[in-house]
Structures are given as C-alpha cells and as structure tokens.
Structure 1
C-alpha cells in the first residue's frame, strides 16, 4: 500500500482548493482510501446489514445449484431413465438460461434490479409447479425451460448486485459466495436423491422438484425488502432514493454518503457512460474487459463441470458403481464441492484472483489428465482411481477456477456495463455447456465413443489452453476499486502488471483520506 506524506490541516485545505475538487468529491475519494485501509476482519465486522442483503442474493442462487444437480440425478433414477431424454433436457435448459441472462440485464437497466429479480423469482415458483405437475415430457421440458430462464436471470443479477456493493477487503469472498451457494444446492439434492431414488413411485423424482419451493419461496419473500441497487439509482438520477438505499446497506451514515459520492464519481468517469448498450461491451477498452469475462466463464464449461454435474451419477455407474452407491458418492462429492468453495472464499481476498485462477487451471490439468490415464487401464484398481479423480474434481474445481470465475467476471466490467458484460459471459458459457450436454453422451457412453474416464484427456487438454491464456490476459483485481480498474484498463496496463501499478485514483484516494482524517483531528495512518 502506498505511503502518503502527512500534511498539516491548513496545507491539506490548500491542496484541496488547488486540486479544484469539491468537498463531496474529497469525501468520496476518502471513502475509497478508507476501504483500502480496512483489513479483512474489519470489513467483515463493519456492516452486518450489508452482509445480510448479500446473503439474501446468495440464497437466491441456491436454487440454481439444486436444479442443476436434480436434473442430473433425475435422469439417473431408474423410474425416470427411459421416459426422459438426457440431452434435450439439459441442453435445452442451458439454452433457456441465455434468455434469462439477457432479459435480466435489459430490464434491470430500465426498471431496476429489485422489480426484475422479483418477477423472475415469481417465474421460478411457477416453473417449479409446472415441473412438479408434469404428465408428459413436453410439460416437464416447458417447466424446466422456464425455470432456467429464471435461473439465468438470478445468476446475472445476483452476481452483479453483490459485486456492486461488496466491501473492497472482502469482495472476493462475497462474490465467491455465489459459487458456494451453487454447491450447497447440489449437496442437499444429493442427500435427497440418495433416499428417493429407490422409491418406485413418481415421488422418486417429484420430491426433488417439490423441494425447490422451499428455497424460492423464502427468496421471494426476502427480496420484497431488498434495497434497490444504488448503482442503478444513481445512473437513473434518483439521488434521494440512492441515498436511502445506501443508508439501508451501511451502518454508518458517513460511510453511506461516502459510497454515494464514490459510486457517482466512478459512474461519471466510466467509459461509455451514456451508451450502456451491448455494442459498447465490444468497443474500446471494454472489448478487452468483455473478452476476459468470457474467457474465465468459458473455463467453467471446458473444465468438464457441466458433464460431471449432468452425467456424474451415470458416469459412476459406468465405472462399475451400483445405483445406490453412486448416489452416496455424490453426497461425498458435494461435501468436497462445499469444502473447495469455502477454501476459495477464505484465501481469495488474501492471495489474489490471478494466482488462484492460474493455479486452479493447472490443478485441473493435472487432475483431468490423471483421470484420463486411469481410464485407459482396464482393471479394478484403475476404475477405483477414476472414481476418485472424478470425485476430487469437485474440490479442485471449486477451490480455484469455480469460485474465482465469479469474482473476476464481477469485478472486470465497468460499473455501467457490469450486468450486460455478465449476461454476455454467462450466455457464452451456457452455449458451451449446451454443446457439451449434447456431445458428452456420445463421447463417454458405451455403444458410442465409450471413452468413459478417458474423457478426462479432452477436458484436460482444454484446460491447458486456459492455463496459457490466463497467464497473459487475466489481471489481478484484488484491492482495486472500480475507479482504479477503469483507469488500469483505459491506460492499457498489461495484465501481469496490474498488481504493482500505482494508479492516479489510488493516490487521490490516499490523499483525500489524509485530508478528511486531518480535518477530523485524528491524523492519518495508511
């Protein structure tokens, strides 16, 4: 952290006057400086109200993880295997998520985050009802498609909202919680499917669908009281409403006002502030930011996540594991997923985004290649090893790539294009997941490619590409305000130099912090 020479109060007053900055601007920059000075534990304790609303958004995302896991579990239940096709269900659902992501971004810019996410929460509840009451494949598929439209919207809006309001010192942990939520859902689904899969009636799969009402109903009620996004309100020139929203988020009124000024300054200086369209995501320096967000989200699909999530239970059975044992292993796998996501949350704000992502890619390369090698050997020990590697994927993925993808994609875009950039990145990932949903069964299934665990070679090779591109193009965003990130991208700083580059915005934040501290008679210590 930079060191700023202390000045006497009268000198600081003169510096403020000479810089031509208003007291409001100084206050906003001082807030950025204060954010830089806070430790992880200080930020964690500072604003319980803010953390509560972050938790509400994250709770909403549990539905996505539960639905994803249930989709894979349902097609592995004996009573369901022959009646419903695999690819049409999973591939079509991924395509529906694209519609939801784009629709959410478009309507949130016009009407705000709160009314839009409430509308999609209502759609979520209705779609679960359609799935539950299904009497034909067409009706079930219609319900699932509507459900994934809502889920695509949740993924966009929740990630963007958390990224907008999360404190600087714990921003990675907060955004990474979006991934943890999607690990909790599958864990609960895996436990349920372990018991219901042996039932002979239609409740063997309907119970998994019905359980979603618990998550989405609680989310719908809580979202009624959600403070509107202050970024949206400031962009819409609803100044009084923005201040009220920030007062509900921050415990200290001075902090709330400081963040108002900081958000306002960031938006005013953001690139393409008056043309927040999808086209702007591909113009100027925004193109680089959009491509990075797409890149990191693509690694989600090409790591094999969709394959393991949708067909993991079947894969265990093809490796010689019984139906009942495969569901039990899934429970252990989801415990590993949660453990990995928790690990990423703990270390993300200490070690940085870039090293975590690069290390995560490297670890997946090793794991997937090892799985491919074990799958090439035809004996019981090799099959057991393949099961182990397939299960360990859950920890390795979530401890690195899985969690940090959300942090990077949430932090990289400029504030006025965050939702749109996320919509593009999420949609590109959904397209890739759709591709793998259709192709994977023909690669690993007996009677087709019959690769089984050797499919690890394919995904391992894909992750080599992401490992190399990450080294050159994925920057470090830890402890950077959005104003600083805007400056770094507009100055065309190399991704490998982001960490050590001292920005003008950073220097001004420290100076403003000294000014405010001196005026209040406390001195400055940065």
Structure 2
C-alpha cells in the first residue's frame, strides 16, 4: 500500500497519453460541475428572478413561487435519467469514446436553449437538456476512468471526477460573484455563455480520447484493444500481448454471467448491486441539494450574508474535499474516509438543525451559514466521493454497465425526491422548517454511516479482476482489507511474492493472472 511520500514513485504507472486522456475527461466533468452550479446560482440573481419569476404584490418584488422553484430544480432530473439510458445505450453498443463525443453535442444544445431563453418554460427546457448531458456524464466518466487506470492508483484517478466537478463549481462561483454586480440580463447570460467553451474544446480534442480496452475485449475486438493498450501505455515497459491475454481470460472466466438485467439480483451480484444502490442513495439523501441547489437562495432569505459570497466560500472549501480524498484514498483506504467524513457530515447537519430551534437571532443565522460552508468538505470526503469510487469498482465485470445504470437511476430518483420536496420543507405556508431540515438529512446521514460500517467493503489496491474472486468467496465487508490473495501480480500477493509479481501489480491496466472461479 502506498504512502503519501511514495505517491511520486508511482509515476511509472502513468504515461503522457493517459494523463492527456484524464485531462480531457476532467474538462468534461469540469463542464458538468460548472453547468450544474450556474443554474443553482443565477436563480438567486434579481435580474433572473425578474425575467423568469412572477411579481409579488405583497412584497413588491419579483421571485419564484414554491411550485416554480420546485420545477426548476427537480424537473431536470427525469431528463437526467433519460441521459443515463442514452449514455448506456451508446456506451455499450458504440463504445465509450462515441459516448464521450455525443454528450458534448448534447451539452451545446442545452446551453444554446438556455442562453436564448425569454420565458420560464424555455429556461426550464434548457436546464433539462443540460441535465440530460449530466446524466450521460454521470454514467460514463467514473466507469471510463476505472477502465483505463492502473489498479494501484485507480481510486485516486476516479476522484478526478469529483474534483473536476467541484472545481468547475468553484470557478462558476467566482464568475457569478462578479457578474451579480451587473445590471440587467447580462448578469446571468455571461455565466451561461462561458459554458460553451468546455464542450467545444472537448470536441476539438476528442481524437485524443482512447477507447476502453476492456470494452473492446468484451466486444471481441482484440486488434483494436491491442492498439488502444499500446497507445495508453506508450513509453512503459509492459507486454501488451500479455495484458490483452489477461483481459481475455477475465472475460472468459466470467462467461457464465450472461450480463442480463436479471443477473443483477442473482448470486453474489445481489450483494454488489445493493452496495452500489446504497452508496448512490446516500449520495443524494444526505443534504447535498440543500446546500448546492438551494443554499444561495436560503442564505439570501437569512439576510445576514451576501449569498454569492457564501457560494464562493462554500464551493472553495468544498474543492478541498476531493484533494484530501485524492491524497488519502489509496494510502488509507475507502472505509476510514467514508466513516470519518460521514460522521462529521452528520454532526454538521444536526448542528444546522439545532441552530434553527428557539429564538432565531442573527448570531444563529451566521452560525448556520458557517456550518453550511463546512458541510461540503466532509460530504465530498464521504458520501460525495467514496460512493463514486465504489460504484465504479463494485459491479461484476460483465454487469458493470447495467449496475451503473441502476445505481445512477437510484441516485436520480433520490435527487428528485429531495429537490422537489425541499422548497415545501423550507418555506411557509408549508412545513416552514428552515434550517431545521438539518435534522432530516442528519438522520439519513447517520443511517448512511451505520450502513457503510456494516456493508461497505474495502477495495483499495485490488485490481478489478482480483475483486471477482473476493466476491465469489463471499468475504465479509469488514474483512476485505485483510484478505490475502495468492494470485500472481495482485497487490496483496506482492507482500509474499517475487519482485516480478510486485512489478506486475504496479504496471498496466490489470496485470494479474485470471483464474476460473
């Protein structure tokens, strides 16, 4: 297992072609984070409310009704679900690279509709199209990164997905903080216009994105898989022919699994599907929509802090979460980060709820703002990043696409339930809970920590093929970290194996010998 000091020694696991591919995929995720943050932030701008909201005679101001606010922040989620299915269909039948290109085109269409919007229906349609792109991205990127990454750093590279998302949100917060000072529709049109840059750049450079060798082997395109492995590993001293043979053996060893939807709930796949579903559900049920989608509007209603300054600080702090996870996920493992981060997330949400009780003072309101700023850091370390990593690593090799679809759909359903209900929970004349919603999400976060302790396995340092054996042997979740493999080239085997085995564990995309299970 690596330490922080030895991370630099793993540079031999990467090549320039790998890093270029990571950078382009990260740019697409950056676009996802930027786009997602734009809509949740510009809805706080007075000019946006005047253009798309309604006039309230009682307050003498423009604003969104509870129903319109719920529609704007939740109806994009069915489109996101549709995007997941579109991504799966294209990614499964035409390849990961074709999927990557297609979703950039979808993003451009959504941005164009949003930029030209003059009515509430049009801005809602634009956001729904962009959400379709985001669902597409949700399905593809974590799995794509896992499939082209060396096993010893797979967890850290998948965290690229979370970091790029949060960094995109942070840059968006900087832009909206400045444009909010402008008069008229230009205040919200500039952030939307900036969105065009990212998918256009990705389309121009898409020829540098490789196809997944694992997908090519599954489709029996051995020559193409060999070519892509040579491209990804250019400059590394590995035997590409052996690598292809390992991947072929993996597919053959798991040929007994037909890859049907019914297989998701059969045998050991039932456990793996439930883990993917569990992490996807808690990703959304633990309060992220409260902070990311409604945070600016809620802070604006408190009237103790500039909502755009809050968004800037909150997203800046949240961006540290993926960096911490990136540094610790492989050296310390998934479970400790998840459990510690989840416990802190629970504590912050409960504190938020507590500050909403009794007489509400400006001091309590500022306390709520402070708690919500810190929330993102610990959420990303636990429910926000580990769920992404686990969702990419848990599925059966032949069921990864279908498991990803199910997990992301569960995530979207939970996201819809939270996003649609939040305005009614927050505002009068409905539940009017205000910050006391922290008690609801804090309780769910506590449940997520308990479920993680009993059911979340430690997958650090295992190749995707090695994990197949562990699932088949039904190793309990809490014993995954201590299980020793006698397979040649596995990360655990290197402790008692030869130097040659250890080197095989480090290099390539899998570098283990796959046996029939």
Q: Give the TM-score of the pair, scaled to structure 2.
A: 0.88
Aligned to 1:21: none
| Residues 179 and 187 in structure 2, CA contact (< 8 A), matched pair in contact too | yes
SS in 1 for 2:164: helix
Tell me, in whole angstroms, the C-alpha distance in 2 between the residues paired with 1:67 and 1:157: 17
| Residues 281 and 290 in structure 1, CA contact (< 8 A), matched pair in contact too | yes
CA deviation digits over 1:238-268, x for unaligned, max 9?
1111011011111325254443233222222
| Residues 364 and 397 in structure 1, CA contact (< 8 A), matched pair in contact too | yes
Give RMSD over aligned pairs.
2.4
Structure 2 counterparts to residues 108-507 of structure 1, below 5 A = 108-250=91-233, 251-252=235-236, 254-270=238-254, 272-273=256-257, 275-322=258-305, 325-377=306-358, 378-505=360-487
| Residues 282 and 290 in structure 1, CA contact (< 8 A), matched pair in contact too | yes
- Shift >6 Å, 4+ stretches: none
Q: 1:272 to 1:87 in 2, by over 3 A?
A: farther
Tell me, in whole angstroms, the C-alpha distance in 1 between the residues paired with 2:168 and 2:217: 34
Tell me, in whole angstroms, the C-alpha distance in 2 between the residues paired with 1:506 and 1:479: 14
How many residues are paired up?
482
Tell me, in whole angstroms, the C-alpha distance in 2 between the residues paired with 1:39 and 1:258: 27
Tell me, in whole angstroms, the C-alpha distance in 2 between the residues paired with 1:517 and 1:505: 9
CA deviation digits over 1:26-58, x for unaligned, max 9?
xxxxxxxxx9xx953232343232122122112
Tell me, in whole angstroms, the C-alpha distance in 2 between the residues paired with 1:478 and 1:517: 18
Selected match of 1:102 from 69, 82, 85: 85
Gaps of 5+ in 1: 2-34, 521-526
SS in 1 for 2:226: helix
CA deviation digits over 1:431-489, x for unaligned, max 9?
11111111001111243222211111110001111111111110000011112211111
Tell me, in whole angstroms, the C-alpha distance in 2 between the residues paired with 1:448 and 1:153: 35
Aligned to 2:33: 65
Tell me, in whole angstroms, the C-alpha distance in 1 between the residues paired with 2:458 and 2:242: 25
How big is the shift at 1:317?
1.5
How big is the shift at 1:93?
1.1
Q: Give the TM-score of the pair, scaled to structure 1.
A: 0.87
Selected match of 2:14 from 23, 47, 54: 47
How big is the shift at 1:227?
1.1
| Residues 426 and 435 in structure 2, CA contact (< 8 A), matched pair in contact too | yes
Q: Answer 1 or 2: higher relative contact order, Cα 8 Å, separation at least 6.
A: 1
Q: 1:110 to 1:414 in 2, by over 3 A?
A: same
SS in 2 for 1:499: helix
CA deviation digits over 1:139-160, x for unaligned, max 9?
2222222211111111211111
SS in 2 for 1:135: coil
SS in 2 for 1:237: coil
More off after superposition, 496-505 vs 256-265: 256-265
Q: 1:272 to 1:109 in 2, by over 3 A?
A: farther
SS in 1 for 2:238: helix
How big is the shift at 1:505?
3.3
CA deviation digits over 1:334-393, x for unaligned, max 9?
110111111111111111011111222111111111111112142222111111001111
CA deviation digits over 1:120-145, x for unaligned, max 9?
21111122111111232222222222
| Residues 44 and 170 in structure 1, CA contact (< 8 A), matched pair in contact too | no
Q: 1:128 to 1:429 in 2, by over 3 A?
A: same
Aligned to 1:30: none
SS in 2 for 1:254: coil
Aligned to 2:62: none
Tell me, in whole angstroms, the C-alpha distance in 2 between the residues paired with 1:223 and 1:276: 29
Q: 1:466 to 1:508 in 2, by over 3 A?
A: closer
Aligned to 2:510: none
Aligned to 2:508: none
Gaps of 5+ in 2: 54-67, 505-517
| Residues 98 and 430 in structure 1, CA contact (< 8 A), matched pair in contact too | yes
- Tell me if 1:74 matches 2:55: no
